[in-house]
Amino acid sequence: MRGLAGRFIESRSGAFAPILVLIMVPLITAVGFSVDYTSAVQTRSTEQAALDAAILSITTMDTASTKAQRQVAMQASYLANGGQGTATLNTFDVSANGTATAQAAASYAMPTVFMQIARITTVPVGVSSAVSKTPALVEATFKVTGVSGYWNKTMTLNGTMFGAAKDKPLMTIDYTYGKTGDPKGYGTTIVSVLTTDSAGKTVTTVAQKQVCKLVDSNTPAGAVIQTDVFKTKYYCVDTMYPAGGAGAQINVSQMGGLNLQMHVPSGNPQDLYSNDPATSNRLYKGAGYSTAAQKALDPSKYLPIEVASKTIVDIFDVVPCSETSDQAWEDGGNSVPAPVGNADFFYNVTGRCDFNKRPNNTRLTQ
């Protein structure tokens, strides 16, 4: 057998060579086509991932950006993520309620290696992608509904701007105990909006002043009398700035993060944060309602519920779009968990939602 194989290899007749060539050409072609096909599949996968990343990136651009500006940014992101060829933004639309939708496609003529035997020099690789982004909070209006307790305290809304490393105060609600001597304690609350002027200085604008007192012979006619958990009767007088205002309107469209802080100088701890799992359970959050009449049909349905222990609260999620939510804080004088009636700081917050730069609420649809 070995001798036969040796004679076959050493043969000089040349009769087998043409046959071998004829056999190898289609074999090499088939293997080559397979290699090019595999390369095309891998390239398409890379192109798809790059286009998905690129179309998602332009949904966080400034709301005033034009389609042409988004096109430039999308192409740059596409290339940065390993895409080849051209990415085209076909549509970018924002509806009246702030819902954004976008569609894009990318194409690349991938050079072949083995397919050139068959005069196929390139293989077209095409991908497409689409996103939908629901409206997100752009404005929150806070209004105090009742604050009590023997301790002075301040609630602050802090916001972190896109690209910033540190948050800054956007609103304060300051309560000063009025030394009424009743079991619950009532005083004066001032709600202020904080903005920054061209010189970088903080400007404080009062939006609401609420004065709460015990019912006595000096109670003004027409005052709404309320009764607390200790059966104490009291009333509150609100002064809005400007007159008839809804409360402290805070623009949060440029904020990537929001948190609430309660500072109680006499408390332990002194500072409670909505984004601190050790103290967030002193915050109570309620369901959203559209009108006072809706709430009046079933008031218990909208009572604020205490945040679960060891929870980080995203304020964007607890301010409902186009609805009002009742919320409260327990300032630390009572242990928790406890019924919301034991809380000392009550307010409501109404949200307005629209298209904005936050990446949340964005999903790929294709």
Per-residue model confidence as pLDDT tens digits over 13-52: 555 556 545 555 565 555 556 766 677 788 889 999 999 9
Give me the mean pLDDT over the 185-209 stretch.
Answer: 94
Cα-trace Rg, the chain: 33
pLDDT, position 281 = 94
Peptide bond between residue 299 and the one before it cis (omega within 30 degrees of 0): no
pLDDT, position 282 = 94
pLDDT exceeds cutoff 70 at 304: yes
**Non-local CB neighbours of 57 within 8 Å, separated by 6+ positions:** 73, 74, 77
Q: What is the DSSP letter of 19?
A: H
Per-residue model confidence as pLDDT tens digits over 132-158: 999 999 999 999 999 988 889 999 999
Is residue 171 a contact partner of residue 248, using CB atoms and an 8 Å limit? Answer: yes
d(CA 193, CA 34): 66
pLDDT, position 221 = 87
pLDDT, position 120 = 76
Query: From the centroid of its chain, how far is CA 348?
Result: 21
Helix, strand, or coil here: 164? coil
pLDDT exceeds cutoff 60 at 340: yes
What is the band of 252 on the pLDDT scale with cuts at 50, 70, 90? very high
Distance between the two ends of the chain, CA-based, in angstroms? 63
pLDDT exceeds cutoff 90 at 56: yes
Give me the mean pLDDT over the 99-116 stretch.
Answer: 86
* Highest mean pLDDT of the ranges 2-11, 177-186, 233-242, 328-337: 233-242
Helix, strand, or coil here: 218? coil
pLDDT exceeds cutoff 70 at 4: no
Per-residue model confidence as pLDDT tens digits over 279-300: 999 999 999 999 999 999 999 9
Q: At what angle do helices 67-80 and 16-57 cross, to 10 degrees?
A: 130
Q: How far is CA 154 from CA 44, 71, 127, 202, 321, in A?
A: 56, 46, 54, 17, 26
Mean pLDDT of the residues in the chain: 88
What is the band of 92 on the pLDDT scale with cuts at 50, 70, 90? very high
Closest CA to 83 of 116, 126, 122, 131: 126
Percent above pLDDT 70 for the chain: 89
Going from N- to C-terminal start, the domains of the chain cover 2-133, 137-354
Peptide bond between residue 242 and the one before it cis (omega within 30 degrees of 0): yes
DSSP string of 301-339, one letter each residue: GG--EEPPTT----HHHHS-BTSEEEEEE--SSS-SS--
**Residues 178-201, buried b or exposed e (16+ Cβ, 10 A)?**
bebebebbbbbbbbbbbeeeeeee
Please, is 130 exposed, middle or buried when counting C-beta atoms within 10 Å of its C-beta (0-12, 13-18, 19+)? middle
Q: How far is CA 93 from CA 99, 122, 127, 301, in A?
A: 8, 34, 20, 37
